[in-house]
């Protein structure tokens, strides 16, 4: 600590250069924070998928339906404890840009299979009692300023026409990565009101008694419905979510590539700053060593200066990224789980410190190995 004032005086000897270097690191770490947040948002479904849940969909395509009668047959399969279903609705609220997922659900079983979505019992009972009732996630409710009791008009796209729902409940996720943007309503209301597609559902979610039996149960389900008019494809919820993420492309590789370029740039910028600082202070380093400062002390002073620049820049960048993500999904519903976790923030700051250490190492070693006579020759 006794060298801290000395380090600060050296840092602000060239204020403009120091501020620009810190700014470069801050911008790079801000970019890193956003990339990590986007990657987390795209894979959120994979991270929070239930280990004991299977998704049963039409083998031809997810957009093809399955018969309602499959629910009872699914329940009869060994190690299946419950089966629920949902149907994609895909309506528009005011503007096509206002995207949020809407599902017609089986109200009798859906809540049992998705206990991570927290709803008060009073609100859930009010939803069950209203055939035009709807449950909306906290994020979507806050986004549009909806509250319990509001009547919401939607413009149907699959089943055209005007549809209106009463908000009866607002749910919250119990985990950080839970999707709080969904909109649920009664499948029976859809069934009664739609002109076609009656007696079908979009997909089933099945709960198994033991996750270790997931593969066997998946195979049993697909065997049960093989050679039928509606053959099924069954996979774990995690594999189902991962499949969606892969449709977008190898985002993780893209983010790693951009991150590597950012880190290399940081290394060059910070390393150049420290090299210039040491080169300008060669005579002073000679004086310090003449006064009794040891080689290791000189090494420490230069490294500390580099680490301090990296730490300040890293904190600023990650802090700005956190503030940005606290504003919510900027894409209008395409990235419903948009947050920067504490672990990712610490990881980013750790990267900044690592860059600071690497960038300062060569200048610090140069200063440490500098001989007094060589340094004083430049006075």
| pLDDT above 90 coverage of the chain, percent | 43
Q: From CA 353, how far away is CA 349, in angstroms rounded? A: 6
H/E segment holding residue 206: strand 203-208
Q: What is the mean pLDDT of residues 38-67?
A: 81
Average pLDDT, integer, range 322-337? 76
* Lookup: tokens for 41: 């948002």
Indicate the burial class of 26 (C-beta count within 10 angstroms; 0-12, 13-18, 19 or more).
buried
CA 107 to chain centre: 29
pLDDT band at 248; cut points 50, 70, 90: low
CA dist 64 and 91 (Å) reads 18
Asked if pLDDT for residue 378 goes beyond 70, the answer is: no
Least-confidence region, from 54-68, 165-179, 280-294, 305-319: 280-294
Render pLDDT for 164-216 as a digit per residue (tens, 0 to 9): 999 999 999 887 778 888 999 999 999 999 999 999 999 999 999 988 888 89
181-195, 229-243, 296-310, range with greatest mean pLDDT: 181-195
Residue (of 326, 71, 43, 342) closest to 224 by Cα position: 71
The answer, yes or no, to whether residue 379 has pLDDT greater than 60, is no
Q: Can you tell me the mean pLDDT for 2-13?
A: 76
Hey, is 188 helix, strand or coil? helix
Non-local (6+) Cβ contacts of 292 within 8 A are none
What secondary structure letter does DSSP report for 53? E
Pairing type for strands 161-173 and 133-137 reads parallel
For residue 355, what pLDDT band results from cuts at 50, 70 and 90?
A: confident
Q: How many CB atoms sit inside 10 A of residue 205's CB?
A: 23
Residue 5 CB coordination number (10 Å): 9
Instruction: Name the token pair of 280.
Output: 């300008």
Residues 177 and 337: beta-carbon distance below 8 Å: yes
Q: What is the pLDDT of residue 23?
A: 87
Residue 172 pLDDT: 93
Quick one: the chain helix, strand, coil %, rounded to 5? 55, 15, 30
| Residue whose C-alpha is closest to residue 13's, from 292, 354, 363, 284 | 284
* Helices vs. strands in the chain: H and E counts, helices first: 15, 12
User: CB-based contacts of 76: which residues, under 8 Å, 6+ apart?
Assistant: none
Q: What is the rounded CA–CA span in Å between residue 177 and residue 45?
A: 8
With 0-12 / 13-18 / 19 or more C-beta atoms within 10 angstroms meaning exposed / middle / buried, residue 289 is: buried
User: Among 130-144, 279-293, 336-350, which is the least confidently predicted range?
Assistant: 279-293
Name the residue with higher pLDDT: 20 or 144: 144
Distance CA 25, CA 169 (A): 45
The enclosing H or E element of 323 equals helix 295-325
Contact 311, 356 (CB under 8 A): yes
* Phi then psi dihedrals of residue 37, to 5 deg: -65, -45
């Amino acid at each position: 600590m006794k060298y801290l004032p000395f380090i600060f005086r050296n840092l602000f000897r060239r204020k403009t250069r120091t501020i620009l270097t810190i700014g470069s690191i801050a911008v790079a770490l801000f970019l890193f924070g956003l990339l990590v947040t986007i990657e987390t948002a795209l894979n959120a479904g994979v991270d929070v998928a239930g280990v004991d849940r299977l998704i049963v969909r039409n083998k031809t395509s997810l957009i093809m339906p399955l018969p309602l009668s499959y629910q009872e047959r699914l329940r009869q399969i060994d190690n299946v404890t419950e089966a629920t279903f949902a149907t994609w609705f895909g309506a528009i609220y005011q503007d096509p840009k206002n995207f949020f997922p809407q599902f017609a659900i089986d109200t009798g079983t859906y809540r049992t299979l998705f206990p991570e979505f927290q709803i008060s019992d009073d609100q859930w009972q009010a939803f069950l009692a209203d055939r035009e009732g709807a449950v909306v996630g906290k994020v979507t409710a806050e986004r549009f300023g909806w509250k319990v009791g509001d009547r919401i008009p939607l413009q149907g796209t699959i089943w055209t026409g005007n549809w209106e729902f009463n908000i009866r409940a607002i749910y919250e996720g119990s985990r950080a990565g839970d999707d709080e943007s969904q909109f649920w309503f009664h499948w029976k209301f859809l069934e009664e009101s739609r002109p076609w597609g009656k007696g079908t559902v979009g997909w089933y979610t099945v709960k198994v008694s033991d996750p270790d039996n997931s593969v066997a149960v998946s195979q049993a389900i697909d065997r049960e419905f093989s050679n039928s008019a509606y053959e099924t494809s069954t996979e774990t919820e995690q594999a189902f979510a991962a499949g969606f993420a892969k449709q977008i492309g190898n985002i993780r590789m893209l983010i790693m590539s951009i991150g590597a370029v950012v880190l290399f740039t940081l290394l060059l910028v910070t390393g150049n700053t420290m090299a210039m600082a040491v080169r300008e202070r060669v005579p002073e380093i000679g004086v310090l060593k003449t006064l009794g400062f040891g080689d290791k002390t000189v090494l420490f002073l230069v490294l500390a200066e580099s680490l301090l620049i990296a730490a300040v820049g890293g904190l600023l960048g990650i802090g700005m990224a956190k503030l940005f993500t606290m504003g919510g999904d900027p894409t209008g519903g395409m990235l419903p789980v948009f947050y920067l976790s504490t672990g990712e923030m610490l990881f980013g700051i750790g990267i900044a410190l690592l860059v600071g250490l690497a960038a300062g190492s060569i200048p610090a070693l140069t200063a440490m190995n500098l001989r007094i006579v060589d340094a004083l020759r430049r006075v």
